[in-house]
Amino acid sequence: MVEERVEEHQRNEDDFREEDFRLSGEVVEAILTAVGQEDATLLASLMEPLHAADIADLLEQVAGPERREILRLWGKEIDGEVLTEIDESIREEVIQSLPPEVLLEAVRELDSDDVVDLIEDLEQNQQEAILGALNDRDRLAVEKSLTYPEYSAGRLMQREVVTAPEHWTVGETIDYLRSSEWLPDQFYHVILVDPAHRPLANVTLGRILSAPRSSALSSIAEEEIRPISVYQEEGDVAYAFNQYHLISCPVVDESDRLVGVITIDDAMSVLDEEHEEDILRLAGVGDESAISDTVLETVRQRLPWLVINLFTAILASLVIAVFEGTIQKVVALAVLMPIVASMGGNAGTQTLTVAVRALATKSLTESNVWRVVRREVVVGLLNGLAFAVVMGAVAWFWFDGIELGVVIAIAMVINLVVAALAGILVPLTLEKLGADPALASGTFVTTVTDVVGFFAFLGLAGMVLL
């Protein structure tokens, strides 16, 4: 019997696939078929078992006309959680497609931080309509959050906080929680506060439930509390959660009074957004690109960086033009030039990616920066020597000339060392200047490796071969 259970468990594991966490193509096709048939009942039955995140994915994946048809037939069933999951690139379109009464009802279900996230980018009249659907307490909380700077802890926090006086016992706290007419849908700590409403300590719900009723809350509180200022940048907030393994964290105003709390789900959302922005910016496609964007929106986001790349390519071409006579006399140089430039560009991109990621996670600091720079230079040197041997031999046998092999070998070492230096020094310099390293580093690094690679290769060729 035990062996049969083990075999069944193994079969279940074999059947488990990553696709189990994705919206399957069959479901999407069935939903679109129901929409095409104008079958609202079938559509509702297909949408009902889906998680809010899957519904959001569906609306993001389909084309605009199909999305509007889904909302027309099914939109009355949408709830606030779905709206918070939808990507910002189409959220406004979805909101505009919903009947006003449906939108207002959906918003009433949300915590204050979700309402702020939902309406902060909407037009003033849309904001007023949504705020008008909230009760006075919730409306004041959302309006107050909107006064804080964008991308700050004040925008990220939720105002719904569970607090208790520092002198309470576990029993008093449990009685209060049970008798309370309102509690947040999700919370992880009870925050102990002093008479001035300043946070003193966090007490986890697990400790409250496992301690005797007579125990003082202060006796089971966590040893350390890390309040966050309402003006702290949300990227720093997400870093603190990741660095110190926080689950929730109190937010305080200028007087250190408790005004809200940030929970781990919001912090992880910020981390996810930061990572996505870095990837998109490194590729030069903008930080708000999405698969739901139209052709014109995509062109608008990518065209500026392509224009910049065009000018940097022209700069590299001007270097080549300086050595036009050398290339005409030694045609083999034209064949080998792309190899030098390509290897330098790839090596620079490798170092750049590591450097930008290290800066984003704050693991590259003043205390270790020069050690990392030295490491990257040594790595570039060793890689350059390795590929110098390979390309030197290839050029020697390919074009039957040892001098050409020596030239490309030396150029390869120079370019890979410079690529390593540029890959780490360019993002560091941009950060010192207050620019986003992920946004512009790639263009500068590619320019440096192309210019240096061509100059070193063609310059050495002119001295050695002519």
Q: Return all residues near 373 (Cβ < 8 A) that are at least 6 apart.
A: 421, 424, 425
| Exposure string for 56-83, b = 16+ CB within 10 A, e = fewer | bbbbbebeeebbbbbbebbbeebebbbb
Question: Quick one: DSSP state of residue 216?
Answer: B
Q: Return all residues near 244 (Cβ < 8 A) that are at least 6 apart.
A: 226
- Domains of the chain, with CATH numbers? 20-147 (1.25.60.10), 163-282 (3.10.580.10), 295-465 (1.10.357.20)
Helix %, strand %, coil % of the chain (to 5)? 70, 5, 25
The CA–CA distances, whole Å, from 230 to 116, 233, 253, 258, 340 equal 14, 9, 6, 10, 50
H or E element, residue 269:
helix 264-282
Contact 288, 276 (CB under 8 A): no
Q: Is 400 left (phi over 0), alpha (psi -120 to 50) or beta?
A: left
Strand-strand pairing, 228-229 and 248-252: parallel
Give me the tens of pLDDT residue by residue for the chain, a chain 466 residues long.
444 544 544 444 444 444 566 778 888 899 999 999 999 899 989 998 898 889 988 888 888 889 989 988 898 888 888 888 888 778 888 888 888 888 888 888 788 888 888 888 778 887 888 888 788 888 888 888 888 998 899 999 988 899 999 999 999 999 999 998 888 878 899 999 999 999 999 999 999 999 999 999 999 999 888 899 999 999 889 888 988 889 999 999 999 999 999 999 888 888 877 766 666 666 655 555 555 566 777 777 777 777 877 888 888 888 888 888 888 888 888 888 889 888 988 898 889 888 888 887 778 888 888 998 999 999 999 999 999 999 999 999 888 888 999 999 999 999 999 999 999 998 898 888 877 777 667 778 888 898 998 989 999 988 888 7
Contact 152, 259 (CB under 8 A): no
Kindly report the number of other CB atoms within 10 A of residue 379's CB atom: 16
H or E element, residue 114:
helix 112-119
| Dist CA 384 CA 390 (whole Å) | 10
Q: Return all residues near 133 (Cβ < 8 A) that are at least 6 apart.
A: 104, 105, 107, 108
Contact 97, 72 (CB under 8 A): yes
Which residue has 């069935």 as its token pair? Answer: 30
H or E element, residue 263:
strand 258-263
Which residue has 């290897």 as its token pair? Answer: 343
User: Identity (one letter) of the amino acid at 87?
Assistant: D
Q: Return all residues near 42 (Cβ < 8 A) that are at least 6 apart.
A: 34
User: Identity (one letter) of the amino acid at 399?
Assistant: F
The DSSP result for 329-344, as a single string, is H-THHHHHHHHHHHHH
Q: What is the pLDDT of residue 2?
A: 42
Look up residue 159 and give its two tokens.
């105002």
3-state secondary structure at position 144: helix
N- to C-terminal Cα distance for the chain? 84
